[in-house]
Chain A
């Protein structure tokens, strides 16, 4: 082994990774507790190259948040409003389509990412109509919509099982599910940061049902609040177990707790760049059956997000101009990047930028005929 690595306090774990051995819960805890971020990074970069070679993915996508009205009002969320409150809004199906149209004129995206609050009165049909209308207008665009938490809510509104709910949404045009709402599965952590939200086991059940229906999804972890290393390792192992069972997860996305404008601001740990890199690298190491780890540059900032591409992440996310949720919580990064910006940032890391679609197929643009 490279001598500088052999002296690390996690050298034995690096050796397991080199030997393609699966890491244990205890390994995960030790990795999260270690400050040897470059040793962790060496191992994570090795796995990232094993799985994704020299490719770094990005997607041309747009986000639409159809409503900020939410019956949950999670305490860490700066985005949600109650019905009738100042700043509360709800877009009709026609408005969602018009907004998508406007965004599409600006840039031909391959994915629309749609998430919103748990609106207490919108009927089940609102969701199916939104999906059908978008699919009719943009048949080539993949609709990645509704977190597991929203799915459970929409099912309840429609008095349907989550399976039946997702079957109907899929028929209407739903392509895949985003990974939000997972937070941290450990019940004692959930009780402190989001007691209103569905239990971790329920989140996993929705995902299991989605995967069984042939809907792929992503997964997330919200870190940097009251959770400890054991909670994080436990969260990752529960995801790994479900992935062993279904194989339905595409990418994992670590999300830092952003709570500047919320009444849980006091629970946010001060930002640590080393911890941000650990969230990427340790996830890459523990989730050996997840094909991709995505760094959400809006939360990391461009400089650290770029560095994360050498610490296990192989996906730089998308060209986002409509991301409102993180910005209300005080993120300081630009709201949109151009494709050229993204490709340059990726190339600077010595990897090859690859435009992907939602399902990680490479997108090839037909060259315009030279006349």
Chain B
């Protein structure tokens, strides 16, 4: 069978072509795809350790001019449910998180029409003055928006934010990096080229970032592969990405609606991501969108990281999906998948290893 040739070479670490990736996406032999992805994961991460990070999501505002049809979280400017957290409120949340062992703060918010770069510089400086925590914040569309509101170019914007304490960029807002899809789903959000431009600039000034893909809405298999190829190409040029995180669109309470992608599609796409992105070290499972049982299975489908404790999460919860996991549970899931569990920092350095018990 032709597919076996593709899977076989992929499992040995060969680079897949666009055509081969599309071919794999139409393959329904889930365990075989998973076995190949697990083999590649074992080559990249030969030590039997799988990781998690302790962090808190802080959504500093829900006011957003983007109006994306897949989002259940945002409020338009002027909506009485809109909010912006004060510096004091943010500091209090960061303090609580650090108390709980968080090493990373993930701050993301809406595209607020009036918040310029000074707001963010002030916020980051206040956090860094108060706590020894890594600021992994602002998705690429937010960076683009801040640059526009402040009348600055991307490089100046990122340099100033970096100087103020921004450590790295989360990969949100990538959705599907194909403009035809973006125009339909999120016409106001930055284009694929701009998203990639932010990441390229971040790499240039020495920052790191993650990349995401949100699938299972209106995109085709070719669109998914286009997305993966765009990430792989940029990574070849910059090495900016520490990790890739695919997850499924959550249809609850959104304008787009429709049925959610199932567990089969999630694992298949995760495995193919591992196989295609041969130059990205880490693949994260998403328990927030998939639940604990499937996220654990993902650790045998190419993922080497189960994500974060997410002491607070609001965006996926707004779509009606609420999975809550403690650090203890994340360790337990990694152990019962047959690995030692390790808390890592944002740069995937191991901080503490919890060895799997005997028996």
Chain A residues with CB under 8 Å of chain B are: 2-5, 7-8, 35-42, 44-45, 270-277, 300-307, 309-311, 344-345, 348-351
Contact = CB atoms under 8 A, between A and B. Distances in A.
A4 B31 contact: no
The 5 closest A-B pairs by CB, nearest first: A350-B28, A41-B31, A273-B293, A35-B338, A303-B263
B11 A349 contact: no
A302 B35 contact: no
B8 A274 contact: no
Nearest to A43: B31
A5 B263 contact: no
A177 to B, nearest CB: 30
Nearest to A33: B338
12 contacts: A3-B8, A4-B35, A4-B39, A37-B300, A42-B32, A271-B293, A276-B293, A304-B293, A306-B264, A309-B264, A344-B259, A349-B262
Given A4-B7, A274-B296, A275-B336, A303 B262 contact: yes
Given A310-B29, A348-B264, A349-B30, A2 B4 contact: yes
Which of B12, B32, B39, B333 has the most CB atoms of chain A within a 10 A radius of its CB? B32
Contacts of B12: 3
B29 A272 contact: no
Contacts of A276: 293
A53 to B, nearest CB: 13
A277 B259 contact: no
B264 A349 contact: yes
Contacts of B332: 270
Interface of B: 4, 7-8, 11-12, 28-32, 34-36, 38-39, 259, 262-267, 290-297, 300-301, 329, 332-333, 336-338
B291 A303 contact: yes
Contact of B31 (A42, A271, A273, A350): A42
Contacts of A4: 7-8, 11, 32, 35-36, 38-39
Given A272-B296, A276-B293, A38 B29 contact: no
A302 B28 contact: no
Nearest to A350: B28
A310 B300 contact: no
A301 B293 contact: yes
Contacts of B34: 37-38, 41
Contacts of B291: 301, 303-304
A351 B262 CA distance: 14
Nearest to A272: B336
Contacts of B32: 2, 4, 38, 42, 45
A272 to B, nearest CB: 4
B30 A307 contact: yes
Contacts of B329: 270
Nearest to B34: A38
A258 to B, nearest CB: 13
Contacts of B31: 37-42, 44-45, 310-311
Contacts of B28: 310, 349-351
Nearest to A309: B264
A133 B242 CA distance: 66
Contacts of B301: 38
Given A38-B31, A40-B31, A274-B300, 18 more contacts: A3-B11, A3-B12, A4-B35, A4-B36, A8-B35, A41-B30, A45-B30, A270-B332, A271-B293, A272-B296, A276-B293, A303-B262, A303-B293, A306-B262, A307-B30, A307-B294, A310-B31, A349-B264
A74 B4 CA distance: 49
A300 B262 CA distance: 13
Contact of A39 (B30, B35, B338): B35
Contacts of A311: 30-31
A35 B290 CA distance: 20
B290 A303 contact: yes
A311 B263 CA distance: 13
Given A38-B301, A272-B336, A7 B263 contact: no
B126 to A, nearest CB: 40
Which of B36, B38, B297, B336 has the most CB atoms of chain A within a 10 A radius of its CB? B297
Contact of A303 (B38, B259, B266, B338): B266
A350 B333 CA distance: 29
Given A38-B34, A303-B291, A274 B264 contact: no
B206 to A, nearest CB: 37
Contacts of A301: 291, 293
Nearest to A7: B39
B319 to A, nearest CB: 15
A307 B336 contact: no
Contacts of B294: 273, 303-304, 307
Contacts of B336: 270, 272, 274-275
A343 B262 CA distance: 13
A38 B36 CA distance: 9
Nearest to B11: A4
A277 B297 contact: yes
Given A3-B8, A35-B300, A273-B293, A306 B263 contact: yes
Contacts of A350: 28
Given A35-B338, A274-B337, A348-B264, A304 B30 contact: no
A7 B294 CA distance: 24
B262 A345 contact: yes
Contacts of A275: 336
B30 A302 contact: no
A44 B333 CA distance: 23
Nearest to A332: B291
